[in-house]
Amino acid sequence: MVVPLEMGWRHLLFENWPIDPAVMNAHLPDQLDPDEHDGSAWLSIVPFTNVAVRPKGVPEPLGIQLPELNVRTYVTHDDVPAVYFFSLDAQGITSVLGARVFHHLPYYYARISLTWTDGRVRFRSYRRHPGARPARYEGTYWPVDEPFSAPTGPFGEFLVERYRFYTEAQDGSLRYTDVEHEPWTLYPAAAEIQTNTLLSAHGFQMPDEEPVYYYSPGLDVVASRSKRL
């Protein structure tokens, strides 16, 4: 049994595109249904950094830092809203291998850098996982307006107030993890994305619509062990 984890998620961008629900459904395991907002499924890229990642109960200073980049969508199972991860790119080789073996998460090794300068986040990621399709993501993002509590905004609540995530393990089984955290604080955001080949690496065409951006300074999280559905 793998123990629960504690960590902090910091400097997050939520870059979000509307997708035809039928298109999204074709990319999901049979047990999951696309969740919809304003008649669309939504596909998101989320760059950020993990801080103080450690087994639950271990002192925070002993945790590790782990820059990360996710491709995700929003699903339901038995009417419970959740997140489904297509991929999680991360910097540390040991952490990637551990997450794949013990938590059944589709992590990929990547070279990632995240810097915070003059109120803006500069993020670069280059997937270098053996045997995986290459994927690059590079851009700068920043908050542009006043913060709000995600539960007070219908779309913000749809995107982030979810307390379970699903992944498909290498043996084809569907796995889930429950998470605990305080409500999110979001800011409307702007971004300049120079390179993004993540969506095509997962079989999605680049949407014609401009993405909707939100920024969050982050929060602290407790994640349960991975369980088979």
DSSP string, 8-74: EEEEEEEEEEEE-HHHHHTTS-TT-EE--BTTBEEEEEEEEEEEEEEETTS-GGG-EEEEEEEEEEE
Mean confidence (pLDDT) of the chain = 92
Q: Is CATH 2.40.400.10 correct for 5-228?
A: yes
Of 17-26, 60-69, 119-128, 145-154, minimum mean pLDDT range: 60-69
Position 95 scores a pLDDT of 55
Q: For the chain, what are the domain ranges?
A: 5-228
- Percent of the chain exceeding pLDDT 70 equals 93
pLDDT digits (tens, 9 = 90+) for 147-194: 999 999 999 999 999 999 998 877 778 989 999 999 999 999 999 999
Tell me which of 12 and 53 has the higher pLDDT: 12
Angle formed at CA 143 by CA 141 and CA 146, multiple of 5 degrees: 170
| Whether 40 contacts 16, CB under 8 Å | no
pTM equals 0.94
pLDDT digits (tens, 9 = 90+) for 67-76: 999 999 999 9
91: nearest Cα among 106, 73, 69? 69
135: nearest Cα among 186, 86, 75, 176? 86
Position 1 scores a pLDDT of 44
Query: What's the whole-number mean pLDDT along residues 209-220?
Result: 97
Where residue 103 falls among pLDDT bands split at 50, 70, 90?
low
